[in-house]
Amino acid sequence: MNPTQALAIYNSLTGEKENFEPIIPGKVGMYVCGPTLYSEPHMGNMRTFINFDLIYRYFLHLGYQVKYVRNITDAGHITNSAGEAVDSIGKAARLEQVQSLEIVYKYNVKFQELQRIYNLLPPSIEPTATGHIQEQIEIIEKIIENGFAYIVNGSVYFDVRTYGKEFEYGILSGRKVDELAEETRELNAQDEKRFFADFALWKKAHPEDMQIWRSPWGDGNPGWHIECTAMSTKYLGDRFDIHGGGLDLKFPHHEDEIAQSCGSVGCNPANYWLHANMLNVNGQKMSKSLGNYFLPKEIVDGTTTVFDKPYLPQVIRFCMMQAHYRSTLDFTQDSLNAAEKGFMRLSEAYEKLGSLETKETSSVDVQALVDSFYNAMNDDFNAPMLVAGLFEAVKYINTVFEGKATISASDLKLLTKEFTGFVFDVLGLTIEKASSDQALTAAMDLVLDMRRSARENKDWGTSDKIRDRLAEAGIVVKDSKEGATWVVK
């Protein structure tokens, strides 16, 4: 590795790019908020997970030993500001007339499948909220002990006002408690909370609840935020390097995690807070009501009506890599088609790498090119800049292939190592070999052989007829000096 600049990360907590300094040299502890499994994760969820997969992969590429924890939220109780329980998993379970765990299990299987399809590296640990109820209770007890929470009628609430005397509530989101008071539209008059901004750590069970746990305060369910605090603390300690998640979790979820950690162990849990931006479709945030909502599996299968053709998962991933993780990204038919063609070009250049002829010297500064890959990623994981650098390499590879530029043996070795390293290991792309259908391949060999004979006899009529009829069947024939190749569209 030859980065000419240090790894800088944009820290949402400070609003600035900071040089990355791990707590333990050579090691990284990273926690990312995973999905709530009350439905199949949609494409927008996937973008967040793909972006953090990129970050995970880059740390690994730099040689860090990474402990990557991404939780699974399988306890449905979440409370809104009015203190009302919103049990999304229980709701889904009732709708499908099954138990909560069945819902969670069903969607977890789908989520695992999606991770395979989109080539996500498995995290070091995927803990579940329901597996850490005891830890959550212990943290709540500690917060109560420290005076930052109170018990009302079997529920426990975090006391934001008392907390605010010692710590700063709103340190991450920039919200001020006073402002929040004015902004909040309506408060529930029946509220058990002492203050509108207080949030539930533990919620007393309702008779119709499908999942109930025992606690010192009676039967109930954990609050949403405490789940993440418990799991991150258990596996990464009171203080770790990176906490990530979608931008929409910044407030209140992450803000409340900070409050819970400060309120229990006295410090912000993470040194660097990273937030991945949202995915838009045709210019708008993906949503069911707008009709631009689709699942990661549907776009691959071509079963969504949003786009008129299927796309390979690696094309979708590549499309995402052309935008920075902190920017919104707009998926449109055009942007996906552009990514598809660009990805093909990248793939084809990769396949040429193995057959390049080397010369005494290189006509391009390969080391500088490789440095640009690292510098791009070291600048807050700027994948689009990396992709631009990779296309510089593509152009170079192509011109060498055409005999219009030269590369030395040592530079070719370097370029091959780093180019493939960044394409496969860092960006997480996969390049599939052409059709593995042996019967089709044999038939095509025969057809193209007959066409070649026709062409040798200047029988253009037959040659063109074969070409056109194959095109109608969805097979595109590409002629080149080395002969004809084909590809199924």
Footprint of RNA on 59-88 (CB under 7 A): 73, 78-81, 86, 88
Q: Please classify residue 285 by burial: count the beta carbons closer than 10 Å to its beta carbon, then call 0-12 exposed, 13-18 middle and 19+ buried.
A: middle
- Please calculate the CA angle 10-14-17 and round it to the nearest 5 degrees: 30
Residue type, 293: Y
Interface region with RNA, contact rule CB under 7 A, candidates 140-148, 159-167, 266-274, 388-396: 388-396
Q: Which of residues 187-246 bind RNA (CB under 7 A)?
A: 224, 245-246
Interface region with RNA, contact rule CB under 7 A, candidates 89-97, 304-312, 334-342, 426-434: 334-342
**Rounded Cα–Cα distance for residues 280 and 290 (Å):** 11
CB of 25 to RNA, least distance (A): 27
Q: Which CB, 368 or 443, lies closer to RNA?
A: 368
Tokens of residue 409, six digits: 């043996």
**Rounded Cα–Cα distance for residues 134 and 126 (Å):** 17
Q: Is 360 in the site for RNA (CB under 7 A)?
A: no
CB of 280 to RNA, least distance (A): 7
Taking residues 102 to 121 in sequence order and writing x for each that binds RNA by CB under 7 A, - otherwise, the string is --------------------
At 346 the three-state DSSP class reads helix
Helix then strand count (H, E) for the chain reads 16, 17
Measured in degrees and rounded to the nearest 5, phi and psi for residue 15 equal: 75, 20
**Rounded Cα–Cα distance for residues 329 and 246 (Å):** 13
Q: Is 391 in the site for RNA (CB under 7 A)?
A: yes
CB of 52 to RNA, least distance (A): 9
Residue among 246, 256, 254 at smallest CA distance from 200: 256
Q: Is 443 in the site for RNA (CB under 7 A)?
A: no
Residue 246 CB coordination number (10 Å): 22
Q: Is 328 in the site for RNA (CB under 7 A)?
A: yes
| C-alpha Rg value of the chain to the nearest Å | 27
Q: Which of 55, 160, 323, 414 is in the footprint of RNA by CB under 7 A?
A: 323
Q: Which of 18, 141, 392, 425 is in the footprint of RNA by CB under 7 A?
A: 392
Q: Is 456 in the site for RNA (CB under 7 A)?
A: no
Q: Is 463 in the site for RNA (CB under 7 A)?
A: yes
Q: Which of 119, 146, 399, 406 is in the footprint of RNA by CB under 7 A?
A: 399
Residues in the chain: 489
Instruction: State the Cα torsion 429-434-440-445 to the nearest 10°.
Output: 180
List 279's β-bridge partners, or say none: 329
DSSP letter at 126 equals -
Q: Which of 20, 28, 30, 48 is in the footprint of RNA by CB under 7 A?
A: 48
Q: Which CB, 24 or 181, lies closer to RNA?
A: 181
H/E stretch holding 297: helix 296-301
Q: Which of 165, 481, 482, 489 is in the footprint of RNA by CB under 7 A?
A: 481
**Rounded Cα–Cα distance for residues 70 and 86 (Å):** 23
Binding residues with RNA: total (CB under 7 A): 87
Tokens of residue 284, six digits: 């708008």
CB of 180 to RNA, least distance (A): 6
Tokens of residue 454, six digits: 């026709």
Q: Which of residues 268-297 bind RNA (CB under 7 A)?
A: 276, 278-280, 283-286
Q: Is 12 in the site for RNA (CB under 7 A)?
A: no
Interface region with RNA, contact rule CB under 7 A, candidates 31-39, 153-161, 304-312, 425-433: 31-39
Q: Which of 335, 358, 363, 406 is in the footprint of RNA by CB under 7 A?
A: 335
Residue type, 378: N
Q: Which of residues 156-185 bind RNA (CB under 7 A)?
A: 173-175, 179-180, 182-185
**Rounded Cα–Cα distance for residues 209 and 78 (Å):** 13
Q: Which CB, 165 or 481, lies closer to RNA?
A: 481
Q: Which CB, 14 or 184, lies closer to RNA?
A: 184
Q: Is 424 in the site for RNA (CB under 7 A)?
A: no
CB of 445 to RNA, least distance (A): 18
Q: Which of 22, 29, 44, 164 is in the footprint of RNA by CB under 7 A?
A: 44
Q: Please classify residue 170 by burial: count the beta carbons closer than 10 Å to its beta carbon, then call 0-12 exposed, 13-18 middle and 19+ buried.
A: buried
Residues near 2 by beta carbon (within 8 Å), at least 6 away in sequence = 367, 370, 371, 374
CB of 54 to RNA, least distance (A): 13
CB of 242 to RNA, least distance (A): 14
